């Protein structure tokens, strides 16, 4: 099965931590028209296999007029073979949610919603430069629950102004809301973002590593007590509510990305579209190439397998890796695996390498040790 990702590169304003490609301009229809053309052109010549997931991300797709969204969905269904039970997700901000808009999304074909809450703490929301407040987030969730059975809430920890108390408050709201899916991310500081510059100039301070570590432990303990399945480091769900789209990424499935800055993957090549909106539109309109590509080496394929699978609850299946790429990880990385196991950073079960909760905290270091 394959997935489709549509990148909507617009936001009302910039969150200080965001490194994704977006613009605060309002030339929505011009970009949507270019994405529609890209879908028809299929310049990358990626085989249009049966599509099991469609994901509208960004940016903020929820600010786009529903007539334009309907055009995109119709174009996708006309140009691709869509599975009957296809998961169709739209990312949204709380301040964009209305009952009318939710009903319209359902009519268009969306059956899953991902809500960018980040935190219910008012002080932290202001520091992060979010467009909503706590009450708007709670009202949005109430409205979503009336229209959608399948939805996810995004929460962040390790953010400026956060501590154990603010995280406990967020978890208490989760306990009351009982969402079917929650993504809980640790804040990453991306270079040249406003947050990075503020930290560098000592205008803003992050919680200590010790506090972030305690936040991580609290999250895992609390989510386990609420019977959520931690199927990927940052992803928790009730039974039957895994994100099919994100699971495709972690399971090495093909995906096609449409829109400026979008990435595609067909197991042999990686593709990335030009990030600049004007350049993207110009190249599309003039039928010029609007993307670059890279053919993956066998070593890159092996490392991709390791990087994605180690994050999941199933872990790295050594037999599957050996069948796909001819590498026996237990043989090639015997000393490293033994060290990680002795340090209680991984478990080895039935030829699988699975992260412990302790290992999840330093997953990047573990990947560095066992990759090639």
The reported pLDDT for the residue numbered 16 is 62
Instruction: Give the position of tokens 């039928």.
Output: 287
Q: What is the DSSP annotation of 137-201?
A: HHHHHHHHHHH-SSEEEEEEES-TT--HHHHHHHHHHHHHH--SEEEEEEPP--TTSHHHHHHHT
10-residue stretch averages of pLDDT, the chain, 372 residues long: 91 67 70 96 82 94 94 95 96 96 97 97 89 95 98 96 95 98 89 75 87 97 98 97 95 93 94 95 95 96 95 96 92 96 95 96 96 95
| Residue 158 in tokens | 């390790």
**What backbone torsions phi and psi does residue 296 show, to the nearest 5 degrees?**
-80, 135
Q: What is the pLDDT of residue 311?
A: 96
| Residue 161 pLDDT | 85
Length of the chain: 372
Task: Give the pLDDT confidence score for residue 24 in this predicted structure.
Answer: 58
DSSP per residue over 77-111, as a string?
A: HHHS-EEEEEEEEEEE-GGG--HHHHHHHHHHT--
Tokens of 2: 């394959």
Count the alpha carbons within 13 Å of 203 in the hemisphere toward its beta carbon: 9
Burial of 240 (C-beta count, 10 Å sphere; 0-12/13-18/19+): exposed
What CATH code is assigned to 2-250? 3.20.20.70
For the chain, domain boundaries: 2-250, 302-370
Give the separation between CA 356 and CA 354, rounded to whole angstroms: 7
Q: Which pLDDT score, from 0 to 100, does residue 248 have? A: 93
Taking the C-alpha atoms of residue 102 and residue 274, their distance in angstroms, rounded to an integer, is 31
Nearest to 314 by CA among 305, 322, 323, 303: 305
Chain centroid, CA 108 distance in Å = 22
Query: Among the CATH numbers 1.20.59.10, 3.30.70.260, 3.20.20.210, 1.10.10.920, which is that of 302-370?
Result: 1.10.10.920
Q: Give the position of tokens 């909507």.
A: 8
How far is 155 from 216, CA to CA, in rounded Å? 12
H helices of 226-294, in order, are 244-250, 277-285
Residue with tokens 């990686």: 270
| Cα-trace Rg, the chain | 21
């Amino acid at each position: 099965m394959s997935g489709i990702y549509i990148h909507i590169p617009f936001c009302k304003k910039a969150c200080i931590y965001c490194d994704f490609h977006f613009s605060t301009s309002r030339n929505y229809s011009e970009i949507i028209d270019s994405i529609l053309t890209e879908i028809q052109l299929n310049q990358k010549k990626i085989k249009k296999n049966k599509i099991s997931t469609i994901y509208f991300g960004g940016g903020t797709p929820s600010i786009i007029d529903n007539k334009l969204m309907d055009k995109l969905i119709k174009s996708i269904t006309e140009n691709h073979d869509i599975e009957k039970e296809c998961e169709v997700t739209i990312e949204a901000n709380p301040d964009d949610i209305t009952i009318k808009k939710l009903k319209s999304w359902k009519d268009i074909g969306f059956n899953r919603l991902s809500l960018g809450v980040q935190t219910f703490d008012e002080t932290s929301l202001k520091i992060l430069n979010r467009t909503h407040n706590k009450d708007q987030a709670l009202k949005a969730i109430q409205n979503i629950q009336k229209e959608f059975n399948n939805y996810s809430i995004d929460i962040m920890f390790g953010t400026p102004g956060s501590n154990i108390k603010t995280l406990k408050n967020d978890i208490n709201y989760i306990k009351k809301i009982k969402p079917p899916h929650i993504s809980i991310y640790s804040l990453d500081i991306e270079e040249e973002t406003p947050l990075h510059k503020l930290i560098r100039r000592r205008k803003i301070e992050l919680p200590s590593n010790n506090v972030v570590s305690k936040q991580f432990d609290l999250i895992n303990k609390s989510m386990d007590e609420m019977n959520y399945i931690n199927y990927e480091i940052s992803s928790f769900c009730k039974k039957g509510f895994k994100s099919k789209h994100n699971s495709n990424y972690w399971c090495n499935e093909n995906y096609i990305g449409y829109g400026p800055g979008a990435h595609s993957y067909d197991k042999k090549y990686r593709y990335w579209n030009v990030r600049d909106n004007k350049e993207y539109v110009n190249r599309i309109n003039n039928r010029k190439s609007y993307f670059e590509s890279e053919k993956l080496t066998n070593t890159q394929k092996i490392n991709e397998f390791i990087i994605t699978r180690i994050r999941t609850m199933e872990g790295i299946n050594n037999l599957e890796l050996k069948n796909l790429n001819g590498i026996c990880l237990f043989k090639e990385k015997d000393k490293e695996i033994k060290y990680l196991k002795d340090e209680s950073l991984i478990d080895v079960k039935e030829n699988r390498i699975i992260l412990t909760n302790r290992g999840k905290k330093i997953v990047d270091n573990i990947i560095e040790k066992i990759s090639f």
